[in-house]
Chains A and B, each alone.
Chain A
Amino acid sequence: EDQVTQSPEALRLQEGESSSLNCSYTVSGLRGLFWYRQDPGKGPEFLFTLYSAGEEKEKERLKATLTKKESFLHITAPKPEDSATYLCAVQAGGGSNYKLTFGKGTLLTVNP
């Protein structure tokens, strides 16, 4: 059974204080690992897809990296508007079901 564990559950940062969120996973053949951002009362908003170990992607203050067992979402010099819940999900390879298995998320709060 595919599993995703995110840590920490909650993280509080001061504006400008860089940090990382962790996503550990077990999956029967990884097709892709996805990061989403979710604001209160809204649906998840797509950030990144990573497909193979060693891959990195960046977008503004965010950088996602992938190894064979985990992914990190690095946040550099965060701003209050980066406050949200960050969700990690995996999509297993093989078969024709492309469902995502999500972790519980990390609630990030950035204080001004």
Chain B
Amino acid sequence: GAGVSQSPRYKVAKRGQDVALRCDPISGHVSLFWYQQALGQGPEFLTYFQNEAQLDKSGLPSDRFFAERPEGSVSTLKIQRTQQEDSAVYLCASSLAFGTQYFGPGTRLTVL
């Protein structure tokens, strides 16, 4: 069966550019999470959706980060005016309510 998919898998941006990262969750999963993983570290929570409602965005590092899930399915994480410190792997996960979270392959963002 289809798992969580993310696109693009790799993104190179020049400092100051805007980027948009896409996540397609497992069909029927109401919960969707975004995590940021720096090299050699564990994933860190960014934001959480239940259907289309963004219930927690406390992990977003700055107001340059914005996430949406307008129809309760696909989600987009947008980063405006990218900085070098934004370079990381961005992981998306989905679950049935509070159950096990299944992760996508991630998008590796490199900001030059």
Seen from chain A, the residues whose Cβ lies within 8 Å of a Cβ on chain B are 4, 31, 34, 36, 41-46, 49, 87, 89, 91, 96-105
Contacts and interface: CB of A to CB of B under 8 A. Distances in A.
B95 A34 contact: no
Interface in B79-112: 91, 93, 95, 97-98, 100-106
Contacts of B56: 97, 99
27 contacts: A34-B101, A43-B103, A43-B104, A43-B105, A44-B43, A44-B91, A44-B103, A46-B101, A46-B102, A46-B103, A49-B100, A89-B42, A97-B48, A98-B33, A98-B48, A98-B97, A98-B98, A98-B101, A99-B45, A99-B59, A100-B35, A100-B45, A100-B93, A102-B42, A102-B43, A102-B44, A104-B41
B32 to A, nearest CB: 11
Interface of B: 4, 31, 33, 35, 40-45, 48, 50, 55-56, 59, 91, 93, 95, 97-98, 100-106
A55 to B, nearest CB: 15
A87 B101 CA distance: 13
B85 to A, nearest CB: 19
